[in-house]
Chain A
Amino acid sequence: KAGVTQTPRYLIKTRGQQVTLSCSPISGHRSVSWYQQTPGQGLQFLFEYFSETQRNKGNFPGRFSGRQFSNSRSEMNVSTLELGDSALYLCASSSDQVGIDYGYTFGSGTRLTVV
């Protein structure tokens, strides 16, 4: 079955702009999590959505937001971009069913560069 699909793969934005990233989870997976990866901070949890509801949120400012649609696809939005938002944004999906391995499957990420 298809893996986790993230679009676009690369983005270049100007400081102050906003950006929307998309993630399509593995078919049947209802949980989608977002992570930011930077050389300095490593992989950090942004938020997690399940059945269109945000269940968990990391320690990021309100400029970072997300949503999930009824088909489990998720988007994250970053408003008023700052240079420090340049990072690889990763999406992970999981089945979140009791008794099923909880292995989180990651997409290839969206490389965001803010100039």
Chain B
Amino acid sequence: GESVGLHLPTLSVQEGDNSIINCAYSNSASDYFIWYKQESGKGPQFIIDIRSNMDKRQGQRVTVLLNKTVKHLSLQIAATQPGDSAVYFCAERRTGRRALTFGSGTRLQVQP
């Protein structure tokens, strides 16, 4: 069935390095994508979003890249900090629908 998936369940990086979290989606009708960060005991926190008519969007220390040809989404975190340790989810929204479909999540561990 249609799904949003992640390539790696756990990513471990050194403090100060750049992190890249990947996500594959299968529905070409998706028009909007969001990355969320979830810390233990908290709800998902919005990081950055991108619409399907864009290839790249940048925020503060984060960049999202969208490759519609291969249905791939990535989140790049520059100069990763211990506070970035969390589970990261990608989510897609299909055109005309309100529901978000979430990936299974990637745990980012930042080593000091």
Contact = CB atoms under 8 A, between A and B. Distances in A.
Interface string B70-112: 0000000000000000000101010001111111110000000
A106 B99 contact: no
A12 to B, nearest CB: 17
A18 B43 CA distance: 23
Given A42-B105, A102-B93, A58 B49 contact: no
Contacts of B36: 106
B42 A108 contact: yes
A95 interface: no
B98 to A, nearest CB: 5
A45 B46 contact: no
A31 interface: yes
Given A102-B32, A106-B43, A106-B45, A33 B102 contact: no
Summarize A's interface: helix, strand, loop or mixed. strand
A42 B43 contact: no
A35 B101 CA distance: 10
A101 B45 contact: no
A44 B89 CA distance: 12
Contact of A55 (B44, B46, B98, B102): B98
9 contacts: A43-B100, A43-B102, A55-B98, A90-B43, A102-B32, A104-B46, A104-B100, A106-B44, A106-B45
Interface of A: 4, 6, 31, 33, 35, 42-45, 48, 50, 55-56, 58, 90, 92, 96, 101-109
